[in-house]
Structure 1
Amino acid sequence: MKIAFVASDSPSAQTGRAALVGRYGNVEEAEADVIVALGGDGFMLEALHRMQSLGKPVYGMNRGTVGFLMNEYSESDLVERVRDAEEAVIHPLSMQATCADGSTHRALALNEVSVLRSGSQAAKLRITIDGRLRMEELVCDGALIATPAGSTAYNYSAHGPILPIGSDVLALTAIAPFRPRRWRGALLPSTAQVRFDVIEAEKRPVMAEADSHLVQNVVTVEIRSEPEIAHRLLFDPGHGLEERLLREQFV
């Protein structure tokens, strides 16, 4: 098995990579059968974005903090663990954000696309889904669209639902909604195309973020799933994404 090892800049990840390379060897990413990523969830998202065009399965080992997308770190039996691993295929969201100056920015997100106030006043958002106006005005700190894989991240912290990994559903979750009071969001089919229009954008500036790609002073943000793009994640048997999502709900 040809393995490419990639690691975050943290000392523990770099130390782990050196030990694993010494034990199993290392090849270039394009030549690998599998890519082993060492770090935390943030590094895993970064690695998946960077290696999107390769189509290689990625097996993560936690050398960060949360490690929701990672397996337990061990230097033993790596080839056997990779061969026995369960594969989960996840599809990203695409974001197209238009700014007040007319510029357009595109990015992909594996976890969520969020629209957030960037000034002292609450944001005012108009929500359109599949070309149909669904909410004339949402006054809030922000709102987000989350994938099933990302539903335990920012979405869950904002009191959004945890979505089964195999569901064809997206979560639309409000962040600190003021009006409508206590609005908790909605579940949308994965095929939905969502548009946020910023009301009073100059007075109430808003930014948009797709994973770690940040765009300031947006006036419209359009979001949809990208089923043609697939990321392959490997997990130890019994510790796949489906099990992790269930376990999160019974902590």
Structure 2
Amino acid sequence: MNQPRIAFLGSRHPGAAQALASLIAAHGQHEPADADVICALGGDGFMLQTLHRHGSLGKPVFGMKLGSVGFLMNQYRGEGLVERLQAAEPAMLRPLEMTAVTESGASVHSLAYNEVSLLRQTRQAAHLRIQLNERDKLELLVCDGILVATPAGSTAYNFSAHGPILPLGSSVIALTPIAAFRPRRWRGAILRADTEIRLQVLDPDKRPVSATADSHEVREVVEVVIRSSQRHSVTLLFDPEHNLEERILNEQFLT
């Protein structure tokens, strides 16, 4: 059985450093650019950090849970890693591309594998206009914020905001308001993944808004454009009994 070249990366979780040293001793260590596979040790936050740092390399990523939340991770076991990698099932994820324009006129670009969220910065509710493919769909949304979630991220912040869980590979994204005040009955929308979403901040001086792509925050935005990326993708590897598609399905039946 051939030994794959593995790049081991560990979070700051207390158990990750010990696991990292043990796995490197057993399998060796390679730089991510030279590896066949990246093995991330931590929680979902560290997995997202790994994807942002190394996703452009095109290397598959196998995560093992050594953190507080591990929806995107496999269970940690120190033994049998090579066999697990060979039996792992791939899941391809396409991130969202965010372009945020600030009050100063700066344009900031970022990727989001989970979601892009807009949130009010002060006690004042946000006033937003929603355009889809350059057509007005909602002239005024009064809310604490709004988010756009990928299928992989639909079980996270999106679900907590009462948004829908999206099947993996469904080629749709979720547009979900956060504490909408007007219109009260609007609960969001499920959109085709190729939809261009433009969110305009009304009265930004009085009602400032920030935009966050996963963990990358941009303050005092006036407009945010979001679309599913056609240029970027990453491949996550999962144990057959814990594949991501099955996890997303099971989330819809939790009581």
The aligned residue for residue 117 of structure 1 is: 120
| 1:179-194 → structure 2 map (5 Å cutoff) | 179-194=182-197
Q: Which residue number in structure 2 is paired with residue 75 of structure 1?
A: 78
1:66-102 CA deviation, whole Å, 9 max, x = no partner?
A: 1000000001100000000000000000111111111
Paired residue type of 2:213: A
State TM-score, norm by structure 1: 0.99
User: For 2:70, what is the secondary structure of its paired residue?
Assistant: coil
Q: Which residue of 2 aligns with 1:57?
A: 60
Distance 2:233 2:56 in 1: 10
**Aligned partners of 2:30 and 2:107: how far apart in 1?**
38
Say yes or no: does 1:198 pair with 2:196. Answer: no
Map of 2:171 onto structure 1: 168
Q: Which residue of 2 aligns with 1:230?
A: 233
Q: 2:11 aligns with which of 8, 11, 14?
A: 8
Identity within the alignment, %: 58
Task: State the AA in 2 paired with 1:44.
Answer: M
Matched, 1:215 2:218: yes
Q: Which residue of 2 aligns with 1:143?
A: 146
Residue number among 162, 170, 173 corresponding to 1:159 in the alignment: 162
Q: Note the C-alpha offset of 1:228.
A: 2.0
- Given that 2:56 and 2:232 are in contact with CA atoms closer than 8 Å, whether structure 1 keeps it comes out as no
The range that moved more, 23-32 or 128-137, is 23-32
Between the two proteins, the alignment pairs up a number of residues equal to 251
CA distance in 1, matches of 2:231, 2:106: 26
In 2, the alpha carbon distance for the partners of 1:96 and 1:126 equals 16
TM-score between both structures, scaled by the size of structure 2:
0.97
Out of 80, 83, 105, the position equivalent to 2:108 is 105
Query: Corresponding residue for 1:26?
Result: 29
CA–CA distance in structure 1, aligned partners of residues 104 and 206 of structure 2: 15
Aligned with residue 245 of structure 1, among 225, 248, 251? 248
CA drift of 1:182 comes to: 3.3
**Residue number in structure 1 paired with 2:137:** 134
Asked if 1 retains the 8 angstrom alpha-carbon contact of 2:119 and 2:146, the reply is: yes
CA distance in structure 1 between the partners assigned to 2:135 and 2:165 by the alignment: 26
What is the distance in 2 between the residues matched to 1:141 and 1:53? 33
Specify the code of the residue in structure 2 equivalent to 1:202.
Answer: D
Q: CA RMSD in A?
A: 0.7
Amino acid at match of 2:73: M
Kindly state the Cα deviation for residue 183 of structure 1 after the two structures are TM-superposed: 1.5
Distance in 2 between residues matched to 1:25 and 1:102, nearest whole Å: 48
Within-5 A mapping of 1:36-55 = 36-55=39-58
Q: What is the letter of the counterpart of residue 231 of structure 1?
A: V
The reply to whether residue 17 of structure 1 matches residue 43 of structure 2 is: no
Q: Measure, in 1, the Cα distance between the counterparts of 2:9 and 2:63.
A: 10
Partners of 1:227 and 1:65 in 2: CA distance: 32
SS in 2 for 1:64: coil
**1:141 corresponds to which letter in structure 2?**
D
Offset of residue 2 of structure 1: 1.0
SS in 1 for 2:230: coil
Q: CA deviation at 1:238?
A: 2.5
